[in-house]
Amino acid sequence: MSTLPARPVETAPKPTLRRLSNPHHSNRARGEPMLWLCGGSLAVCLLMVIGLLVLVFWQGIGTFWPHPVVQVRLADGSVRMGEVSRQNSFQPSTEQLAELTPEVRAQAETRLVDGWSSRRQFRTGNFDLTNHHYYWVPDYLVAEESNPEWAVLIERQTWGRFYGFPAELRIDGKAVATEPSAVMQRLQTELEPVLTRFHRIEAIRKVEIGGLAEREEDARLAARAAELRYGKDSPRHRAAVAEFEKVAADTSDQGARFDDEIRELQRENARYAVLLKTADGAEKELPLDAIVRIYAPNQLGFAGRVGVYLDRWREFLFDSPRNTNQEGGVWPAIFGTVLMTLIMSILVVPFGVLAALYMREYAKAGLVISAVRIAVNNLAGVPSIVFGVFGLGFFCYIIGGSIDSLFYPERLPTPTFGKGALIWASLTLALLTLPVVIVATEEALSAVPSSMREGSYACGASKWQTIQRIVLPRALPGIMTGMILAMARGAGEVAPLMLVGVVKSANELPLDGAAPFLHPSRSFMHLGFHIYDLGFQSQNSEAAKPTVYTTTLLLIAVITVLNVFAIWLRSRLRRRFVAAQF
């Protein structure tokens, strides 16, 4: 049997793909310009945020670093001495140059570069003598410049900083040291006991005498309450009046003893004073108990500067403000900010979660629910000052006034809750941040798979059991996200707080060690309002500018710490419910 020869298999040639020259298939059609536009927009946003943070960090972290003291003698013979805070270039006007004498003008013109000159801003202090905190010194007017060895910087309880030279240390009006080195050495020895006595005086006034005044006020209010409840001639009222008179006599005797102790401490402190001379020759006698810190900046080494820097940070974080909030610490503001934010979070999360639960899990879709959702979304865009006005009228005057009438009639007309207070500030900001929590919670609930609900129903669980054991645990990370956003916004709000509780200075913290421990009716300090007060309400905004940056840095740090704690809690919840991550 013959076999036919194999027929070669012909393979068809592969078609070649040609790029169609369609003008619509361009880079613009593929969206590459939009890609670059989106990426560029993100880069610009990041640069702005990072630039803001770098500026605040750089200015804030360097506020407390001690700088050398510079003394300059100007061409007109006047002397300026202080720390250089800023430097820039400017172009002197023709009028400014015309005011100079011919010799000074000729010398100034040789120092100008194309009509421009540099100038430095000196923080000269001594406000009680000069009525100025700062002076701008053009370099073309400087005839002589030096760093005096014994120039000292004194931070005072009032009037701000003082720059000068130690001339004498006086005890009982007699000079016990006259050389600068001897004055400084003796001053460091005598200053500590003087400051100890000063702080003892402050403690007596605030704690002991303040406690006596509070005790007497409680007895008076008890007598007033008995009069309102039982009548002016009732036995209970007479007993309360007798108790008040007894307490008043007792507190008067104890107060007299405390007054004697204060006068004795003040008399001892009045023996010590230091005589200072300014750069222009003026003299100033300063009591030692008016000094907070004194040092010679031009004699400090690196270790000494670090010591002053850290001591200033300690004072800033843990002491109370002084000198109309321009100096000292911000501990009451830190405490008030954190406490108000925590109370606000505790108040807003339950209400926001319950509202979102009802709208997502129980309510039927319809016109009413759609209107509520639109209202919630629009509520997020209402200016914060509107919430402040509402909080003042509703919470402070209506609810607070009603509480005063029902439970504190003896204190009227002085309000207890019918004024700005911690509780009303927390409720106002809770109302402000409620839309954020509702929207975030709804999104978290909708992200839980329906199959998990159906499986729970198939096992015989009720709707509430399904929500409690299946839906809510897996939606907790999303709910925590809403709480984080609410905390971040609420902690930085200032406008509504100005109406419902925040004050420039608070003598008492809203949380202390005496029952009932938490005092929601007290006003409080806030870091955001403190920044506003320093920047716009201070005696000299230029002098307060470094503290503004430092307080801003601190506020950012406080909000970051609160958010980091909430993010850590959210991450733990996510790890617990890995299957429900979204």
Which of residues 33 and 191 earns the better pLDDT score?
191
Count of other CB atoms within 10 angstroms of residue 492:
17
Segment 370-385 shows an average pLDDT of: 87
CATH topology of domain 69-149: SH3 type barrels. (2.30.30)
Predicted local distance difference test score (pLDDT) of residue 28: 61
Do the first three CATH levels of 69-149 and 331-527 match, i.e. the same topology? no
Segment 444-470 shows an average pLDDT of: 87
Residue 581 has pLDDT above 50, yes or no: no
d(CA 123, CA 279): 13
Q: Indicate the class that CATH gives domain 331-527.
A: mainly alpha
Q: Express each pLDDT in 269-294 by its tens digit.
A: 999 999 999 998 899 999 999 999 99
Least trusted range by pLDDT, from 144-158, 270-284, 335-349, 559-573: 559-573
Segment 522-536 shows an average pLDDT of: 90
Residue 315 has pLDDT above 60, yes or no: yes
Residue 565 has pLDDT above 90, yes or no: no
Predicted local distance difference test score (pLDDT) of residue 505: 87
Predicted local distance difference test score (pLDDT) of residue 571: 81
SS3 content of the chain, % helix, strand, coil (to 5): 60, 15, 25
Residue 500 has pLDDT above 80, yes or no: yes
DSSP letters along 445-463, please? HHTS-HHHHHHHHHTT--H
Q: Which residues does residue 174 pair with via DSSP β-bridges, in sequence order?
A: 171
Segment 550-562 shows an average pLDDT of: 90
Predicted local distance difference test score (pLDDT) of residue 205: 92
Residue 554: partners with Cβ closer than 8 Å, 6 or more residues away = 60, 316, 317, 330, 334, 527
Q: What's the sign of the alpha-carbon dihedral 362, 367, 370, 375?
A: negative
CB distance 274 to 289 below 8 Å = no
Output the average pLDDT for the chain: 87
What percent of the chain lies above the pLDDT cut of 90? Answer: 50
339 to 89, 176, 391, 510: CA distances (angstroms): 46, 50, 19, 9
What percent of the chain lies above the pLDDT cut of 70? Answer: 93
Q: Express each pLDDT in 146-181 by its tens digit.
A: 999 999 999 999 888 999 999 999 999 999 999 999
Segment 318-328 shows an average pLDDT of: 85
CB distance 297 to 153 below 8 Å = yes
Which of residues 299 and 113 earns the better pLDDT score?
299
Predicted local distance difference test score (pLDDT) of residue 391: 94
Residue 453 has pLDDT above 90, yes or no: no
Q: What is the pLDDT confidence band of residue 484, given thresholds at 50, 70 and 90?
A: confident
Which of residues 409 and 27 earns the better pLDDT score?
409
Structural domain spans, the chain: 69-149, 174-270, 331-527
Least trusted range by pLDDT, from 109-113, 186-190, 247-251, 269-273: 109-113
Residue 579 has pLDDT above 80, yes or no: no
Segment 501-520 shows an average pLDDT of: 84
Segment 203-222 shows an average pLDDT of: 92
Predicted local distance difference test score (pLDDT) of residue 1: 46
Residue 308 has pLDDT above 60, yes or no: yes
Nearest to 359, CA basis, from 478, 444, 450, 295: 444
